[in-house]
Chain A
Amino acid sequence: MATTATATTTKLWGGGKSPFNVEYGKVMMWYFLMSDAFTFGAFLISYGTIRFSTNGWPDPNEVFRSFPFAPEGVHAPLVFVSIMTFILIISSVTMVLAVQAGHNMDKKRVVNNLIWTIIGGAAFLGCQAWEWNHLHHEGAWWGSNPFLNHDGTASSTNFTNYFFTITGFHGFHVFSGVIINIIMLIMTLADKFEQRGHYLMIEKAGLYWHFVDLVWVFVFTCFYLI
């Protein structure tokens, strides 16, 4: 790496220095995430379009009203999903801390924070699995919607189709993120990054993990709050 760059602000494309000043892999991770953002965006916009073209829609506070070990028929809207949201935010924070520890070549803190991130991801997946299972027992699945619209009229299956498709696609991303983080943990423990002299790989995994959190911000708002 020949660049001694503390790239000055003038003439970014003037040549003689790296225009982005990040390594190749990181730029490519950003481009991948951008394409992924368009995929999720397409899903969510499609959901929004269908919802706008329909007269009624189920009330999320009626649909998502339960949580684990709660008695039958409990009415606790937003409780469980806020726990899931905070789990994901906290796991995002521990990931930033892992990236930061990597900057300082602090292997022990990288390992600690990665483990916490993995635990957070697994906890989120567990929550989602419980919720899917619960909804499935209530009769909700792709192609079947037991819930009524907010105003008491019959609802279409669009609601459940979009819910399971989009949260499923997001859950799949969380799952891949957990796998990636486990690989990062193994590589850290095997001193791979110490040998390379840098922890840039953790940063790329971190970008992916934050993106997963970012998508959840949108999914959470679109399905549970609005």
Chain B
Amino acid sequence: MEHTTEHHEHAGGGTKEIIKVTVILTVLTIVELILGFWMIDIPLDSQSLRLGIKGTIVILMMAKAFYIVAYFMHLKHELKNLIMTIVVPLALFIWFITAFLYDGNSFRNLRNTYDPHFKEQSTIKVEKKEHGTTEKHEAAPVKEHGGH
């Protein structure tokens, strides 16, 4: 055996660790799904509760991402130089996500304030085919595009 590859002895990475991470990922996914099933029955009006659950799901998602990158992709056991050269540029995402979502939200608010047509369009209920019995129509000319 003369495989003198330059990196063998990374710390960690044994079968035990793989099993541990597999269990963690499975548990996190199951918790996500439980939250998802729970959210089905929560009415749209209780916005803050829905938002809280969604936030929790996002945090669990980040945890899953961490375990995949750190252990499956082995990044945690690499040298700090390599870790930094990968992770630091990705930190840009923090700004991207904040800025763009804020912008999207602001655009919606502006349109709801200054564009009556946009606002009205989003309040017209469309008749559902099967079990749409209690639909109420607010504005007179209901454009029935899209739903039937």
Contact = CB atoms under 8 A, between A and B. Distances in A.
A153 B123 contact: yes
Interface of B: 1-9, 13, 15, 18, 22, 25-26, 29, 32-33, 35-37, 40, 44, 54, 57-58, 61, 64-65, 68-69, 72-74, 78-82, 85-86, 89-90, 93, 96-97, 100-101, 103-105, 107-108, 111-112, 118-119, 121-126, 128, 132, 135, 143, 145-147
16 contacts: A12-B79, A48-B97, A49-B104, A51-B104, A77-B36, A78-B37, A86-B29, A147-B147, A154-B143, A154-B147, A155-B146, A198-B5, A203-B74, A221-B61, A225-B36, A226-B57
Interface in A211-226: 211, 213-214, 217-218, 221, 224-226
The size class of the interface chain A forms with chain B is 35 or more
A155 B125 CA distance: 10
Interface of A: 1, 3, 5-7, 9, 12-13, 18-23, 27, 30, 34, 37, 41, 45-46, 48-56, 61, 77-78, 82, 85-86, 89, 92-93, 95-97, 100, 103, 105, 145-155, 197-198, 200, 203, 206-207, 210-211, 213-214, 217-218, 221, 224-226
B29 A45 contact: no
B104 A152 contact: no
A61 B40 contact: yes
A149 B93 CA distance: 29
Nearest to A5: B6
B124 A214 contact: no
Contacts of A103: 8, 13
Contacts of A54: 108, 122
B67 to A, nearest CB: 10
Contacts of B124: 153-154
A9 B79 CA distance: 8
B72 A152 contact: no
A109 B52 CA distance: 44
